[in-house]
Structure 1
Amino acid sequence: MANDVTVFDLDVFQNDVRTIASSPLEWEQYRGQNILVTGAAGMLPIYIVGTLLAANDLHGLDLNVTGMVRRPDKARLRLGTALDRPDFELQTVDVIDRIQFDKQFHTVFHGASPARPALHKGSPVTTLKANTLGTINLLDAQAAKGGGSFVLLSSSEVYGSVAEEGLISEDSLGTLQHFNPRASYSEGKRIAETALAAYQEEYGIRALTLRFGHIFGPGLALDDGRVQADFLADVVHGRNVRMMSSGAAMRTYTYVADAVLGLFFAHLIGDDHVYNVANPAGNITIRQLAEAFAAARPEKSLHLEFANPDDDRAYSPVTSLGLSSQRLSALGWTPQHSLAEGINRTIASYEES
């Protein structure tokens, strides 16, 4: 089964984005806008693209979406029939390079970032540049064309290791091992957030940062390297779900459609500058996540296998990184999918392809 599928044309994906675009939000704010989505072939960005195009269909907004990517061949495969639409354009640009926009983008959704853990260790310089220089280059280009709204897709990793118990709020701050190649991702995201605040202050950019927990769903690459992708690959290929550690660490797992719905709640009706996006019901241990994936297809009779149950050294030293979504929930956002439903839809997307 192919790792890269035509995500845009999957029934599960189209159902998800139409449902998001049908939500009673202030979609009129996008009327007539030119909108840029960077990293447009990635799991979260492709859902943003799909939602905006679905909103255009449903609400007749006369908006135009540009998807910016670094690898056009992969992007064309994943975007499928989006490329045939008159309201969508694909551009090949590496955000690490200096950028000049040929038109004003009223809204920029910046999702171009090396998200795979293997890249943080194997290509820390590229990871750092994409998150820091990439963000600054885009902000420079937007400011040069008169400004607008800039939405940064950030990460729970900016919190580092938080000592307090319970779910982490937007005002929490932990420690990071910054003199470590793996910090190229977490520190890079921190700098990106600071850059956004600086450009808001000096150039009037409307700044919004979304800190996502661990996201899964259609478009998640089977070789992504994060545990949710490993477990998905095991189920798709009919293998017992293999764990490389005891799985005691806790994270917040959220289905991608719920996460993107939260993004649009924050952008269209929120007035804070930073929001966590995570389903609090998905705050579980890695082992519980593995069990949920194994149980999703009972006909395959899958069970857990442990390679090194007492060895957690290869993974993030942060044992608990669950996010509080109270600020986002106060806007009326509610996740629409349980963990089991999200896992079922994710697996179904690969079965469909």
Structure 2
Amino acid sequence: MKRVLVTGGAGFLGSHLCDRMLREGYSVIAMDNLITGDLRNIEHLFKEKDFEFYHHDVSKFVHVPGPLDYILHFASPASPIDYLKMPIQTLKVGSLGTHNLLGLARVKKARILVASTSEVYGDPLVHPQTEDYWGNVNPIGPRGVYDEAKRFQEAITMAYHTFHGLETRIVRIFNTYGPRMRLDDGRVLPAFIGQALRGQDLTVFGDGSQTRAFCYVDDLVDGIYRLLMSDYPYPVNIGNPDEITIQEFGEEILKLTGADQKLIHKPLPKDDPKQRKPDITKAKEILGWEPKVSRSEGLKLTYEFFKERVKTEKAQETE
């Protein structure tokens, strides 16, 4: 049985990747230091004989006994609230952590896929964003700790590929949503749903004309799996090109939740991207992939998850 290491394995995306790799017949090791991950995301896997959990920070030396066939590097704070609160850890996991895992992949002769992000494009001057666009990033702005960590991560991954001949894959992930997101992680979708569930008005930053394109987690995980199994070493955008303004998205959430609150506006944070939409031509041509889950369908599933989680947390508070 082939073995795969998933770093950030207790996180939102990492935990879904653990599920997928187990379903595909792999032995899975999830590694996480739990600064943003949550053991509740993987507690259903502890009974599986082919699943292990290592509580470890990949910014420190990484040791995994025995053979290893694949590494999925998804360890990193990924929301603005997290990486603004933990700027040094964010830079370290993108640099030292990636270096450690590339070294591990080389020793184990494993293929490694690293999770990059659409944030490497910064506040883009090209729309939609294609993989050959170099981006418009402020390296010393508040978001620079995340953007530049991911840009460095791509650079060192390609260096290991070209210099050492290491089998590498790079996925550029666009806005993704689904069950197991944290309500408090600061990203627009959980923020909107969290405010709706708490009876608060929904906060729209700026005038709401900035755009995002949301991909349901199952679609994203399928794209990542196809990229891992492909022979393509260069970055590939994985996301849903169905673009919507934040104002329109807030209205969709109010309609979905049946909340009678309103949208309120606050100043746009510094360097916040005005447009975000993936060009997925490469994913279609190379991987035969495109998203299947509509936003209305995915939002219903995500809202049900959040409703249950809030209900459980309230019940625990009253015990």
Query: Normalising by structure 2, what TM-score?
Result: 0.90
Which residue number corresponds to residue 351 of structure 1?
307
Question: SS at the partner of 2:24?
Answer: helix
- CA distance in 2: counterparts of 1:181 and 1:286, whole angstroms: 21
Report whether the alignment pairs 1:215 with 2:176: yes
1:262 to 223, 237, 258: 223
The answer to whether the 8 Å contact 2:7/2:74 transfers is yes
Cα deviation, residue 92, structure 1: 1.0
The answer to whether the 8 Å contact 1:150/1:206 transfers is yes
Which residue number corresponds to residue 317 of structure 2?
none
Which residue number corresponds to residue 48 of structure 1?
17
Which residue number corresponds to residue 28 of structure 1?
none
- CA distance in 1: counterparts of 2:37 and 2:98, whole angstroms: 22
2:262 to 301, 304, 307: 304
Query: Match for 1:294: what amino acid?
Result: L
Cα deviation, residue 246, structure 1: 1.9
Per-residue CA deviation, residues 10-50 of structure 1 (Å, 9 max, x unaligned), is xxxxxxxxxxxxxxxxxxxxxx2110000011111111001
The answer to whether the 8 Å contact 1:243/1:304 transfers is no
Q: Provide the aligned C-alpha RMSD in A.
A: 1.9
Which residue number corresponds to residue 291 of structure 1?
251
2:282 to 327, 350, 353: 327
- CA distance in 2: counterparts of 1:280 and 1:270, whole angstroms: 24
Greater mean deviation of Cα atoms: 335-344 or 269-278: 269-278
Question: SS at the partner of 2:207?
Answer: coil
2:210 to 237, 249, 254: 249
- CA distance in 2: counterparts of 1:42 and 1:93, whole angstroms: 13
Which residue number corresponds to residue 292 of structure 2?
336
Per-residue CA deviation, residues 235-280 of structure 1 (Å, 9 max, x unaligned), is 3334443324321111221111111111112222453521101111
Which residue number corresponds to residue 136 of structure 1?
99
Report whether the alignment pairs 1:160 with 2:118: no
Per-residue CA deviation, residues 178-204 of structure 1 (Å, 9 max, x unaligned), is 123420110000111111111112322
Distance 1:243 1:179, change over 3 A: closer
Tell me the number of residue pairs that the alignment of Structure 1 and Structure 2 aligns. Answer: 308
- CA distance in 2: counterparts of 1:193 and 1:332, whole angstroms: 23
The answer to whether the 8 Å contact 1:40/1:75 transfers is no
- CA distance in 1: counterparts of 2:188 and 2:280, whole angstroms: 22
Distance 1:53 1:246, change over 3 A: same
Which residue number corresponds to residue 80 of structure 1?
43
Query: Normalising by structure 1, what TM-score?
Result: 0.82
- CA distance in 2: counterparts of 1:244 and 1:319, whole angstroms: 11
Report whether the alignment pairs 1:317 with 2:272: yes
Distance 1:179 1:246, change over 3 A: same
- CA distance in 1: counterparts of 2:90 and 2:238, whole angstroms: 22
Which residue number corresponds to residue 11 of structure 1?
none
Greater mean deviation of Cα atoms: 220-229 or 72-81: 72-81
Greater mean deviation of Cα atoms: 63-72 or 220-229: 63-72
Cα deviation, residue 319, structure 1: 0.9
Per-residue CA deviation, residues 129-174 of structure 1 (Å, 9 max, x unaligned), is 01111100111122123x221011110011123323x311100112
The answer to whether the 8 Å contact 2:176/2:217 transfers is yes
Query: Match for 2:168: what amino acid?
Result: A
The answer to whether the 8 Å contact 1:136/1:195 transfers is yes
